[in-house]
Amino acid sequence: MNKTIATPILSTRGLTKTYDDINVVDKLDLDIREGICFGLLGPNGAGKTTTIEMLEGILPPNAGEILYRGKPVDKHFFQHVGIQFQHTALPDFLKVNDVLNLFSRFYDSPMNRDELIAWCNLEDILDRDHRKLSGGQKQRLLLALALMNDPDLLFLDEPTTGLDPQARRNFWELVRSVRSRGKTVLLTTHYMDEAEQLCDEIAVLDKGKVLTQGAPRTLLNQHFNGALIRLPVANFAGATIPPEFKNAEQQGDFMQLQATQVDATLSTLIASGVSLNGLQVESATLDDLFLKLTGHELRGE
């Protein structure tokens, strides 16, 4: 018996954006399943921002199409979408409560106000001028505005940039809550720990193309076998390097080896005269995957 394959909530087919005869986004194909948190990752110049802006309806593509539930997007698409931009200018002198009231009037059927306030933890700041909010409080308010129309699809464009670690983790809990209600979240971020914590699937973009797409753990298992051993480059000076380590990668002041059997690898290094001072043994992370696929580090973008 054949299983029914659900239609993705959002897809692109051959999506292309050209500037000065350069394809910033190059025939991009994406499928985003409903009810998941999907991460779009890419270094500067990868086409990530341009892709998001086309999906959000801000930029028109030069070629290709965007499909919502299998059909080309139209004006009704935006009734089902919420967007939290990186930067949003709000009217001056308004309190949080006033901002919520103002934005609720933009929609025929806004979300229940009290439920929205409780959901985004705004109860204690309703009487605060929005200009005097902390970074985390401001992001919670902007999330509430993005959820005002009770969207099925939510765009979050680097929502935790500049937040302190506690505020970031508080925002992660809100994102998990959004996803738990069956909504689909499309997240862009340059924090790899954030992508690992929140995303059910990721797509890694570089030069306008998708290099890989899938669940983070699945992708890590595909590209890395065992553990990663890192040792200072200086430890290898004067040592006889075993043939199996000739292809070790140098990353800054460290050499990185991929080992399926850590104990055996360390024994071989010791026998070869390699000091283990400064040894690091770690499982591969999305940082490692990103660096392997693109040659760039995403942190600090």
> Concatenated DSSP letters for 186-240?
EEE-S-HHHHHHH-SEEEEEETTEEEEEE-HHHHHHHH--SEEEEEEGGGGTT--
Q: Cβ distance 48 to 25 under 8 Å? A: no
Name the H helices within the chain: 48-55, 96-104, 113-119, 135-146, 165-180, 192-198, 216-223, 262-271, 286-294
Give the whole-angstrom CA distance, residue 33 versus residue 39: 12
170, 171, 183, 222 from 165: Cα distances, Å: 9, 10, 25, 30
**Based on C-alpha coordinates, what's the Rg of the chain?**
23
Give the whole-angstrom CA distance, residue 246 versus residue 296: 22
Give the whole-angstrom CA distance, residue 184 versus residue 33: 8
Give the whole-angstrom CA distance, residue 70 versus residue 76: 14
Residue carrying the six token digits 């931009």: 85
Give the whole-angstrom CA distance, residue 104 versus residue 149: 8
Q: What is the pLDDT along the chain (301 residues), one digit of tens a residue?
A: 455 568 899 999 999 999 988 999 999 999 999 999 999 998 777 888 899 999 999 999 999 999 999 999 998 898 999 999 877 889 999 999 999 999 999 998 999 999 999 999 999 999 999 999 999 999 999 999 999 999 999 999 999 988 999 999 999 999 999 999 999 999 998 888 899 999 999 999 988 999 999 999 899 888 887 788 889 989 888 887 777 666 678 888 888 888 888 888 888 888 888 889 999 988 888 888 888 888 765 544 4
Q: Is the pTM of this model over 0.95?
A: no
Tell me the pLDDT tens digit for each residue of 200-250. Answer: 999 999 889 999 999 998 998 888 877 888 899 898 888 877 776 666 788
Q: Cβ distance 96 to 126 under 8 Å? A: yes
Instruction: Label residue 273 left, alpha or beta by phi (over 0 means left) and psi (-120 to 50 means alpha).
Output: left
Q: Cβ distance 206 to 43 under 8 Å? A: yes
pLDDT at residue number 300? 43
**Can you list the domains of the chain with their CATH numbers?**
10-220 (3.40.50.300), 225-283 (no CATH)
Give the whole-angstrom CA distance, residue 29 versus residue 45: 18
| Residue 156 CB coordination number (10 Å) | 28
